Structures are given as structure tokens and as C-alpha cells.
């Protein structure tokens, strides 16, 4: 075993794991970190990797020979060749100096691997004052019922054919939110259902795909979704109706929880806080 849990656990201020992203606090074990090292050798997806559903080969992997693991700090670098390539160093440590050390390592490894990007990912505790970056939020489906909301939301395939035909231009308009990619997956039949909101015969919002899979300890997790509403359709409560419809779907299909990442101060962040989700901490990504 490479990692010492008595060294790593005290500096895990937020439940974020390199190459995997957020994990449920109950599944945050030394075994998960060890799994990421083994996956670096095979380039395969771990069975509980949320990106496994998209198929292909795992693009991001841990640079295991360059991991720094000591009592008060752990630096875990990863490499992706997507685009012009990026090295990210996950900086686990309570001292401020860990960021500078991670930045130095990221710059060195980016040069060594001839990639354009070098970044530091710093997990931050839930009580962090004036946080920046991304908030990790937990929806616990065992805590309370998630009733189906009233509103113009149903699976895309349940809308009339003419309405379904408006999904393509909607997806293209919201490509920056991942909807164009989602549309390609839908067309290929490679993902679960997508819920859509339609107004006056036109799709103006969507959330999906809706899929439940087991996490590292076998608990049923509602997978993260792409979620967007056209700018001109915002302010009507459609985002909240879509989100509640997704939560109803997840609970109805046996999910125990969902983890979400929201931009601090963004619309989804405020929505999740208003809906009573639990904040598990933050991640702040810095370019080197």
C-alpha cells in the first residue's frame, strides 16, 4: 500500500479524489486513492468512475512516480492529453505553503510532459470564509421524500415529435454547458433519459442523463447531470422544476444520494443551497 491513511486523512478537507472528483464521505477511504494508482497503469476506468458511462479510455491518470506523500502534505499530480494537455496537482495540506509547492511541481511536470496547462487544485473545508471555485454539495435521498413537481417537464422522448425536434437547436445554443455533447450521446443511445422543459412547443431547459450506479462501497448514486435553461427562459422557476423532477427520478429509481458541484455564487449554487443540500467543502483551481 502506497498511501498512509493516518497521514492522508487529516488533510482531506473536502472529499475530492484525483481523476474521480467528489466522493461520498462514507466512501472516502485509502482504498479509493490506491485504486487511482492502479488505474494509472491500466488506463482503464474504475468500476465506480462516473465517467465510465461515456465509454472509451480513461483520459486522465495519476502520475504515480511523482506523487509526494508525507505526514503533513500530499501532492498528487495527474495528466490529461485532451486538447493541448494539462497537468493538475491536487494539493492536500493545511499549511499555505502547500499551494506554492504544488504550483512548482505542476510547472515542472507540464514542461516534462510537454503539455500547455499547469494547474493546482486545492480542496477547502466547508467552513472556509469567502470561498472561491466550486462547492461540493450532497443531496441525501434517504432524508425526506422528493415529490414530483408540477410543471412542463417530462423525458424528451415523451414530448410530441415536433417538440422533440427543438432539442437540437436548444442543445447547440447551450453547448457551453455540455448540452451539445449530451445530445450526441442521446443520438447514439449511450445514456439514460433526459428530462426537458418545454414552453409554447419549444424545449427551453433540460437536465440529464438520469442514471443510477453503484459507488465504491456499493451504494446507489444518482450520477451527475448536465443542466441548463436558455437565458431568455430564466426567471420563471423552470430550473427549480427541472431539478426537483430530477431528484424525484433519482429517489424513485433507488438512489441513496447525489453529489453535485456548483460554481460558488452561481445560479445552481443558490438553488442547491435553497433546496437544503449539505455543503461538503470546496475546490479551488489555480492556473500556474
Does the pLDDT value for residue 258 go beyond 80? yes
pLDDT of residue 113: 97
Full set of structural domains in the chain with CATH: 5-134 (no CATH), 143-255 (3.40.630.30)
pLDDT of residue 53: 87
The 3-state secondary structure of the chain, one letter per residue: CCCCHHHHHHHCCCCEECCCEECCHHHCCHHHHHHHHHHHHHCCCCCCCHHHHHCCCCCCEECHHHCEECCCEEEEEEEECCCCCEEEEEEEECCCHHHHHHHHHHHHHHHHCCCCEEEEEEEECCCCCCCCCEEEEEEECCCCCCCCCCCCEEEHHHCCHHHHCCHHHHHHHCHHHCHHHHHHHHHHCCCCCCEEEEECCEEEEEEECCCEEECCCCCEEECCCEEEECHHHCCCCHHHHHHHHHHHHHHHCCCCEEEEEEECCCHHHHHHHHCCCEEEEEEEEEEC
Give percent of the chain with pLDDT exceeding 70.
100
Residue 261 pLDDT exceeds 90? yes
For 33, 94, 128, the CA distances from 13, given in Å and listed in that order, are 15, 8, 10
Which of 44-53, 210-219, 268-277 is most confident? Answer: 210-219
Name which of 75-79, 103-107, 110-114, 271-275 the model is least confident about.
271-275
Say what the pLDDT of residue 64 is. 94
Q: Which pLDDT score, from 0 to 100, does residue 180 have?
A: 97
Q: Give the Cα separation of 250 and 254 in Å (integer).
A: 7
Confidence of residue 287 (pLDDT cuts 50, 70, 90): very high
Q: How confident is the model over 51-80, as pLDDT tens digits?
A: 888 877 889 999 999 999 999 999 999 999
Place of cell 504515480: 64
The reported pLDDT for the residue numbered 102 is: 98
> How confident is the model over 153-194, as pLDDT tens digits?
999 999 999 999 999 999 999 999 999 999 999 999 889 999
Mean pLDDT of 29-48: 92
Phi-psi group of 83: left, alpha or beta (phi > 0 → left; psi -120 to 50 → alpha; rest → beta) = left
Asked if 61 contacts 82 with a C-beta cutoff of 8 angstroms, the reply is no
pLDDT value for 195? 98
Note the pLDDT tens digit of each residue in 184-230: 999 998 899 999 999 999 999 999 999 999 999 999 999 999 999 99
How far apart, in whole angstroms, are the C-alpha atoms of residue 249 and residue 105? 43
Distance CA 205, CA 159 (A): 13
Kindly report, residue by residue over 111-152, the tens digit of the pLDDT.
Answer: 999 999 999 999 999 999 999 999 999 999 999 999 999 999
What is the mean pLDDT of the segment spanning 247-275?
Answer: 95
Amino acid at each position: 500500500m502506497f498511501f498512509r491513511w493516518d497521514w492522508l486523512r487529516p488533510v482531506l478537507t473536502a472529499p475530492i479524489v484525483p481523476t474521480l472528483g467528489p466522493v461520498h464521505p462514507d466512501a472516502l477511504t485509502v482504498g479509493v486513492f490506491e485504486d487511482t494508482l492502479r488505474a494509472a497503469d491500466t488506463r482503464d476506468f474504475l468500476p465506480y468512475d462516473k465517467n465510465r458511462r461515456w465509454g472509451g479510455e480513461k483520459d486522465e491518470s495519476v502520475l504515480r512516480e511523482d506523487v509526494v506523500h508525507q505526514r503533513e502534505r500530499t501532492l498528487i499530480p495527474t495528466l490529461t492529453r485532451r486538447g493541448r494537455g494539462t497537468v493538475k496537482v491536487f494539493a492536500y495540506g493545511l499549511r499555505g505553503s502547500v499551494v506554492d509547492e504544488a504550483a512548482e511541481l505542476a510547472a515542472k511536470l507540464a514542461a516534462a510532459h510537454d503539455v500547455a496547462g499547469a494547474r493546482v487544485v486545492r480542496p477547502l473545508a466547508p467552513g472556509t470564509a469567502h470561498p472561491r471555485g466550486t462547492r461540493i454539495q450532497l443531496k441525501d435521498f434517504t432524508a425526506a421524500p422528493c415529490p414530483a413537481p408540477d410543471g412542463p417537464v417530462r423525458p424528451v422522448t415523451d414530448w410530441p415529435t415536433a417538440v422533440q425536434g427543438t432539442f437540437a437547436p436548444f442543445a447547440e445554443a447551450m453547448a457551453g454547458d455540455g448540452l451539445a455533447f449530451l445530445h450526441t450521446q442521446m443520438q447514439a443511445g449511450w445514456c439514460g433519459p433526459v428530462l426537458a422543459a418545454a414552453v409554447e412547443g419549444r424545449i427551453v431547459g433540460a437536465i440529464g442523463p438520469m442514471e443510477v450506479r453503484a459507488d465504491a462501497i456499493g451504494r446507489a448514486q444518482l450520477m451527475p447531470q448536465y443542466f441548463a435553461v436558455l437565458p431568455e427562459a430564466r426567471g420563471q422557476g423552470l430550473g427549480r422544476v427541472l431539478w426537483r423532477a430530477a431528484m424525484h427520478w433519482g429517489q424513485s429509481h433507488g438512489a441513496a444520494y447525489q453529489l453535485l458541484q456548483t460554481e460558488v455564487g452561481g445560479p445552481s449554487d443558490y438553488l442547491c443551497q435553497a433546496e437544503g443540500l449539505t455543503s461538503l467543502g470546496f475546490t479551488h483551481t489555480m492556473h500556474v
